[in-house]
Structure 1
């Protein structure tokens, strides 16, 4: 050991700065940080796609259930039909955006707010249509009260 506390360099081995070779001390740290950043970016992307997919499924479920519940009511009172759709969509975590009766069906649009930072992208909107109402003219009415060996509910009158 030298007097300044450093180990002596073996003979014939010059310091990297003296030979003009680049030093690579600490380059593994830079590469490790780059790989970690890439992995965290991919994890963030996967999380974002998963959250958007789950929110879309929640919105689709809310829209389908709201449309089916609204289509079960007689289509004479649009306010009552849309109130029922609003109630069902709210119970499923969505907000009713549009509701209308078109011919013999009910068309529903619901929106779901995306959580956290992803919410800056805006609301997710899904449309659903259900109908016709079972008592409407031209609606399908079964000719038999049995289907696949099970009793069917009687047709509305």
Structure 2
């Protein structure tokens, strides 16, 4: 009697399981990277929108920044003015695997260009 009968099926199943696990891991990494890009985009756009209103003060600038951050799927966790520069920190939800929700974080700064070495 041959004791190796069915060993090929077990091997094929094991290889298939490794390939599926690799695919799931690759999808999770891809989802995390996309989430990070969304957070960066939301932070950049929020900072640019807030910089336009920086001359009006903290409330108008951060209010406008928060509007654009939320329109891009993020949540603003902090906003501050440093002179006429605005610094915005944002988080966006990321679901790398079904049932697992994490947050991607990003920050952006926007404001006027300093006069040093800039042609006018």
Superposition TM-score, scaled by structure 1 size: 0.68
Supply the distance in 2 between the matched residues of 1:88 and 1:142 (Cα, whole angstroms): 31
| Greater share of residues in strand | 2
| Greater share of residues in helix | 2
Per-residue deviation, residues 52-72 of structure 1 (Å, max 9, x unmatched): 111111110110000001001
* Counterpart among 90, 105, 108 of residue 128 in structure 1: 108
- 1 or 2 for the larger relative contact order (CA 8 Å, sep ≥6)? 2
Per-residue deviation, residues 81-131 of structure 1 (Å, max 9, x unmatched): 111011000111111111000133100001001124341xx3111010111
Alignment partner, residue 67 of structure 1: 47
- Structure-2 change in CA distance of 1:65 and 1:139 (3 Å): farther
User: Does the 8 A contact of 1:71 with 1:130 survive in 2?
Assistant: yes
Query: Structure 1 unaligned runs (5+)?
Result: 1-14, 17-22, 144-157
Superposition TM-score, scaled by structure 2 size: 0.87
Rg comparison, structure with higher value? 1
Give runs of ≥4 in structure 1 deviating > 3 Å.
Answer: 138-143
Does 1:78 find its partner at 2:78? Answer: no
Alignment partner, residue 34 of structure 2: 54
* Counterpart among 29, 34, 52 of residue 14 in structure 2: 34
Query: Structure 2 unaligned runs (5+)?
Result: none
Alignment partner, residue 3 of structure 1: none
- The alignment yields a C-alpha RMSD, in angstroms, of 2.0
